[in-house]
Amino acid sequence: METTTAKLLDGKALAAKIHQQLQTQIHQLQAKVGRPPGLAVLMVGDNPASAAYVRNKEKACAKVGIASFGKHFPQETSQQELEAVIAELNEDARVDGILVQLPLPDHLDAVSLLHQIHPDKDADGLHPVNLGRLVRGESGLRSCTPAGVMHLLAEYNIPLRGKNAVVIGRSILVGKPMALMLLEADATVTVAHSRSQNLANITKNADIIIAAVGRPGLINADMVKQGAIVVDVGMNRVTDANGNSRLVGDVDLQSIAGVAEYFTPVPGGVGPMTVAILLQNTFTSYLRATS
**Over 50: is that where the pLDDT of 58 sits?**
yes
Q: What is the pLDDT of residue 240?
A: 85
- Give yes or no: residues 188 and 259 share one domain: yes
164 and 262 share a domain?
yes
Mean pLDDT for all residues in the chain:
95
Instruction: Return d(Cα 62, Cα 241) in angstroms, integer.
Output: 39
178 and 59 part of one domain: no
Does 82 share its domain with 171? no
In a domain, 236, yes or no: yes
CA dihedral 180, 183, 187, 192 (to 10 degrees): 40
Full-model pTM: 0.95
Does one domain contain both 254 and 221? yes
Residues 153-208 pLDDT 10s? 999 999 999 999 999 999 999 999 999 999 999 999 999 998 999 999 999 999 99
Same domain, 148 and 109: no
Q: Answer whether residue 194 is part of any domain.
A: yes
Residues 78 and 194 in one domain: no
pLDDT confidence of residue 49: 85
Is residue 97 domain-shared with residue 176, that is, in the same domain? no
Q: Is the residue at 258 inside a domain?
A: yes
Same-domain check for residues 99 and 154? no
- Asked if residue 277 belongs to a domain, the reply is no
3-state secondary structure of 189: strand
- Look at residue 18 and tell me if it is in a domain: no
Say whether 142 counts as a known binding-site residue.
no
CATH code for the domain of 57: 3.40.50.10860
Look at residue 4 in the predicted model and tell me its pLDDT.
62
H helical segments located in the chain: 11-33, 48-64, 79-91, 110-116, 128-136, 144-155, 175-184, 199-203, 253-256, 270-290
Q: Given a cut of 70, is residue 87 above it in pLDDT? A: yes
Residues 113-164 have pLDDT tens digits of: 999 999 999 999 999 999 999 999 999 999 999 999 999 999 999 999 999 9
Strands 7-8 and 67-68: unpaired
Long-range pairs for 136-144: beta carbons < 8 A, 24 or more residues apart: 137/184, 141/281, 141/284, 141/285, 142/177, 142/181, 142/277, 142/281, 143/173, 143/174, 143/177, 144/274, 144/275, 144/277, 144/278, 144/281
Report if residue 282 sits inside a domain.
no
**Residues that are catalytic:** 57, 101, 124
Flag whether pLDDT at 3 surpasses 60: no
In a domain, 128, yes or no: no
Q: Domain for residue 288, yes or no?
A: no
Task: Provide the domain count of the chain.
Answer: 2
Residue ranges making up the domain that contains 236: 143-271
Please say which residue of 73, 101, 118 terminates a domain. Answer: 118
125 assigned binding-site residue:
no
One DSSP character per residue, 213-270 reads: S--TT-B-GGGS-TT-EEEE---EEEE-TTS-EEEE-SB-HHHHTTT-SEE--TTTSH
CB–CB of 154/143 below 8 Å?
Answer: no
Please tell me the distance from the alpha carbon of residue 108 to that of residue 116, in angstroms, as a whole number: 13
89 and 147 in a single domain? The answer is no
Q: pLDDT tens, 99-126?
A: 999 999 999 999 999 999 999 999 999 9
Alpha carbons 166 and 71: distance in angstroms, whole number: 38
- The Cα 174–Cα 125 span in angstroms is 11
Does the pLDDT of residue 242 top 90, yes or no? no
Identify the pLDDT of residue 237. 87
The rounded distance, in Å, linking the Cα atoms of 224 and 205 is 8
One domain, residues 48 and 149: no
**Domain harbouring 223, CATH code:** 3.40.50.720
pLDDT number for residue 1: 41
Q: Which of 11-20, 178-187, 239-248 has the lowest mean pLDDT?
A: 239-248
Is 170 annotated among the ligand-binding residues? yes
